[in-house]
Amino acid sequence: MTRADKLARLQDIFRDVLDRPDLQLTEDFSTADCPEWDSVATVQIVLAAEAAFNVRVPMETVAHLRQVRELLDLLP
């Protein structure tokens, strides 16, 4: 899967969790760009990404996750 494919799958997850159906997700997208992306949303995004990509995101990454790129880098 290419990085662009992964970003596209993440976009579906972010749109669903943040309830922003028109969101155009970029690697730079961060918590600073979206007040709805709070700690609760982070957990929901991570859990959905883990299920979609069959991967376990390390606790350290989850603790400090602020930007799409940080999650994208970990996806297989």
Partner 1 sequence: MLRAAITAIHHCVPTRRLTEAELEARFGAKNVQSIAKLSGIHERRIVEPGTTAADLGFAAAERLLAGRNIPRETIDLLIVATQTGDYQIPGTAYVLHERLKLSQHCIAYDLNQGCAAFPYALAMAQGQFAAGLAKCALIINTDALSGIIHPQDRTLVTLHGDGAVATLLEVAKGEEGLLGFHFGTDSAGWRYLCLPASGARQPRSEETRKAIADETGNVRSAEHFQMNGQAIFHFAIHKVPEVTNEALKKFGVTVADLDLVVLHQANRFMIEQIYKKLGVPAEKQFFYLENVGNLSGASSPAVLSEAVRQGKVKPGALVLLAAFGVGLSWGLVLIRIGQDGLAPIAASTDYTPAT
Smallest gap from Cβ 4 to partner 1, in A, equals 27
Smallest gap from Cβ 59 to partner 1, in A, equals 5
| Selected binder of partner 1 within 4, 32, 54, 76 (CB under 8 A) | 32
- β-partners of residue 30 are 67
Please tell me the total number of residues recorded for the chain in this structure: 76
- Where b means 16+ CB within 10 Å and e means fewer, 17-35 reads bbeeeebebeeebeeeeee
3-state secondary structure of 34: coil
| Selected binder of partner 1 within 47, 48, 52, 72 (CB under 8 A) | 47
Site residues for partner 1 per CB under 8 A: 31-32, 38-40, 42-43, 46-47, 56-57, 59-60, 62-63, 65
